[in-house]
A and B are shown apart, each in its own frame.
Chain A
Amino acid sequence: MMAQPAQFVTAVASRTGPILIFMGAWQAFTMFGLTDPAFLPGLGAIGSALLDLVSGRDLFINLGMSLLTGMSGLVLGIVIGVPLGMLMALSKLADGFFGPLVKATYSLPKSALIPLFVLWFGIGGMTNILAVALTALLPIVIYTYHGVHSVPHIFVWSAKSLGTPNWKMLVRILLPASSHAILTGIRIALGFSFIITIAAEMIVSNYGIGKLMFQYGDSGAYNYMFAAIAAVVLVAYLADVSLMAITNYLLRWQDPVEKHG
């Protein structure tokens, strides 16, 4: 699947074409004064704000703190979620206990837990990480559960007949066979992690990119606010693309995962 360089260039040009058209229209609107620059800053103003942010420390410190929060929560969700999902798939007792709890909490909009966690843990670190972890947990549990459930019986039977001990069955058979589903769950959880991290920082926090965006908005520095938001969207996109790359690498023995499926 090695594409020719010329093909690659046309592919990239074709993908970025619509975005260039959109940015051109934006620039035209602001240049000819069709929109109020206070409500929609020009691309030049946003670009110079972005350059200023990238050369300073505020953006990196706050974005870094947000990423640390989001990733800690996500990792916590994976560390608890994958074993819990497997346990529920393998044990009727665990399924009977956790199943109704998962079902009951699944439809709660998780950001609603942020004020409660503020009551428990105060403003900042712990509250934000736990809110992310709890949000990330549920999709991971559900996808792991369904993944383990859909492992073909014949794998388990053949492994058993070869005398595989239980722990080896878990690590060598069930985990690899359900890894596709687990990674899909993690991808959904990644999206939620970003949402809840930023939401927590906007609702109540003393650091983070969500807080920074709000400060720029409150002080009327709208071009900085747009620049900070652009940085967040870019980082979230890169995180999603990296996770896809990791997934495809881990599952290189399977059929490739389609892009936005």
Chain B
Amino acid sequence: MARATALRSAGKLGQGVIALYPLALIIALWEMVTRLGWVRPLFLPPFSAVIEQLHNLALDGELLPPLAISLYRTFAGLSIAMLVGLPLGFLMVRSRILRWLFEPFVAIGLPAPKIALIPIFTLWFGIDHMAKIMLVALTSVFPFIVAAAAGARTVALNQIWAARAMGSSELTLLHRVILPASLPSLMSGLRVAVPIGLLTTFTTEMVAGGGLGGALVMAQRYFETPTVYAYLLVMLFCGYVIDIGLLRLRRRVLRWHEG
């Protein structure tokens, strides 16, 4: 029995490794063309040199501190967006006046390239954390509003009536009926909002300095190509790990939902 399970999990692992062959192929090709000197290292240093540079950056403390700053800005902004966006989305479904008041702003704000506000936010909130956090909050609040509104709209009316008939207040209704019923939609919203938050943080940092984004632009200005690639790998990894984490969270939170 134990051996069979072990074999099966080994088989699964093997399949996983085989599925990743395109990545391995590209890394091998990358290493080969650079070792053979077919491309200038200024454009593409060997993959091994990038990994080595990553190691050096970590040792020199030029990796974790900027990474921590970027992640702090992203998650602070996302938290604000969630705290504002979810109640607003719910209320826009429950109240006609609020819907009338906010709908035009959502319609304009959702497709607007809010990244254009970087100069304004820098003017208002300075060049440190606050400008970045507020811009992340602004860019990622819209997916939360839309997800909350979409989720609240899917709540079956008879569930609301039933809760009302049993004397639930509006707040209990929100907390015990609407919130759980709209969790699937909220999880999808989260998966849209987080990459937008990361994109906003890195972009704002590239323009206004600080964090991983600022470090990346600095490395490019000094033509430190291996450092550019090293930071890019870290950003790629960041986005990937967070996305996997969100998928796991979704499966955990929605155990009761889709089998």
Contact = CB atoms under 8 A, between A and B. Distances in A.
Tell me whether A and B are bound partners.
Answer: yes
Interface of A: 14-19, 21-22, 39, 96-101, 104-116, 118-120, 191, 194-195, 198-199, 202-204, 209-210, 213-214, 216-217, 222, 225-226, 229, 232-233, 236-237, 240, 259-260
B199 A109 contact: yes
A233 B195 contact: no
Q: Does more than half of chain B's interface fall in helix, strand or loop, or is it mixed?
A: helix
Nearest to A222: B123
- 6 tightest A-B CB contacts, nearest first: A107-B239, A115-B220, A217-B119, A194-B113, A240-B111, A109-B199
Interface of B: 19-23, 26, 42-43, 100-108, 110-113, 115-120, 122-124, 146, 195, 198-199, 201-203, 206-207, 213, 216-217, 219-220, 223, 225, 228-229, 231-232, 235-236, 239-240, 242-243
B110 A260 contact: yes
A111 B113 contact: no
A39 B111 CA distance: 25
Given A15-B103, A112-B231, A115-B217, 14 more contacts: A17-B100, A18-B101, A100-B20, A101-B23, A106-B239, A107-B243, A109-B198, A110-B199, A111-B203, A112-B232, A115-B220, A119-B228, A120-B43, A236-B113
Contacts of A232: 113, 116
A97 B119 CA distance: 41
B113 A233 contact: yes
A111 B111 contact: no
Q: Does more than half of chain A's interface fall in helix, strand or loop, or is it mixed?
A: helix
A226 B202 CA distance: 23
Contact of B117 (A17, A106, A229): A229
A157 B112 CA distance: 43
A100 B15 CA distance: 13
Contacts of B112: 233, 236-237
9 contacts: A39-B123, A98-B22, A106-B239, A120-B43, A202-B119, A203-B207, A213-B119, A214-B119, A237-B108
A109 B104 CA distance: 29
B42 A119 contact: yes
B113 A109 contact: no
A19 B118 CA distance: 22
A194 B115 CA distance: 9
Contacts of A107: 195, 236, 239-240, 242-243
A97 B22 contact: yes
A113 B215 CA distance: 13
B23 A213 contact: no
Interface-central residue, A39, A112, A191, A233, by most chain B CB under 10 Å: A112
B43 A104 contact: no
Given A115-B206, A210-B116, A229-B116, A18 B26 contact: no
B117 A195 contact: no
Given A119-B42, A229-B117, A108 B239 contact: yes
B229 to A, nearest CB: 8
Contacts of B107: 259-260
A157 B134 CA distance: 53
Nearest to A210: B116
B207 A202 contact: yes
A96 B23 CA distance: 11
